[in-house]
């Protein structure tokens, strides 16, 4: 019998899906709902420099672009970045830039941010504690972190052949985020993804966790 080991969804997987990404209305609606939750959690300001990590085609950054200063859209998939760069050019947007970046292996940018947002990407990053520490170090004192991802699930969201985190237990992620140096950690449920599975329709809730890097520097706003 041949058994296949679960594999991670690497950049090639997302490269291949990038051109069709925006055709999925659920992805678009999810981006809008997460943007609403970010607005609720953070006093957004036109002077805030933001990093959108695992930006995909920009479905979170585009709804927020007129309420923030610069946004750096970073992703490990060249295909996703190609699509988002085309959208930026087509709309003559001046405050969004793109960067190919995998914070697991690449050096972190030297620039610091006032806000980091990341949507549906944390479950693809094996070492959660490491990435939380990197996010912390990338923020200015007083800066905000907003992570949207799946609540803990049974593995059926991606299926057994895919090696990712099966969502996150909110209490456990909150503890890890506090250990990485964040305070004011709060969760809101922002969206529910409904998927057809073998014998049933299943709901997968999506949370937004927000937190703040300690420090004196006053963030704009």
Ligand X SMILES: C[S@@+](CC[C@H](N)C(=O)[O-])C[C@H]1O[C@@H](n2cnc3c(N)ncnc32)[C@H](O)[C@@H]1O
Q: Which residues bind ligand X (CB under 6 A)?
A: 11, 14, 27, 31, 54-56, 59-60, 75-77, 80, 102, 104, 119-121, 124-125
Nearer to ligand X, 59 or 208 (CB): 59
d(CA 2, CA 61): 43
Nearer to ligand X, 15 or 141 (CB): 15
Q: Which whole-number Å values give the CA distances from 110 to 106, 137, 178, in the listed order?
A: 12, 10, 23
Nearer to ligand X, 195 or 217 (CB): 195
* Closest distance to ligand X from the beta carbon of 114 (Å): 19
d(CA 215, CA 140): 8
* Closest distance to ligand X from the beta carbon of 119 (Å): 4
For ligand X, the nearest residue by Cβ is 56
* Closest distance to ligand X from the beta carbon of 93 (Å): 17
SS (H, E, C) 168-218: ECHHHHHHHHHHCCEEEEEEEEEEEEEEEECCEEEEEEEEEEEEEECCCCC
* Closest distance to ligand X from the beta carbon of 150 (Å): 10
């Amino acid at each position: 019998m041949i058994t296949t080991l679960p594999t991670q969804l690497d950049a090639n997987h997302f490269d291949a899906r990038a051109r069709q990404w925006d055709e999925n209305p659920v992805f678009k609606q999810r981006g809008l709902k997460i943007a609403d939750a970010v607005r609720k959690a953070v006093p957004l300001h036109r002077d805030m420099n933001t990093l959108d990590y695992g930006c995909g085609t920009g479905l979170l950054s585009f709804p927020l672009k007129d309420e923030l200063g610069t946004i750096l859209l970073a992703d490990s998939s060249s295909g996703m970045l190609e699509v988002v760069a085309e959208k930026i050019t087509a709309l003559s947007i001046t405050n969004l830039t793109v960067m190919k970046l995998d914070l697991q292996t690449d050096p972190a940018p030297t620039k610091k941010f006032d806000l980091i947002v990341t949507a549906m990407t944390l479950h693809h990053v094996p070492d959660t504690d490491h990435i939380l520490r990197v996010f912390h170090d990338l923020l200015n004192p007083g800066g905000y972190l907003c992570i949207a991802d799946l609540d803990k699930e049974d593995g059926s969201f991606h299926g057994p052949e895919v090696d990712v985190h099966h969502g996150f237990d909110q209490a456990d992620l909150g503890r890890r985020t506090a250990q990485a140096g964040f305070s004011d950690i709060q969760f809101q449920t922002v969206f529910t993804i409904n998927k057809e599975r073998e014998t049933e329709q299943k709901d997968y809730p999506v949370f937004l966790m927000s937190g703040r890097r300690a420090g004196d520097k006053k963030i704009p706003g």
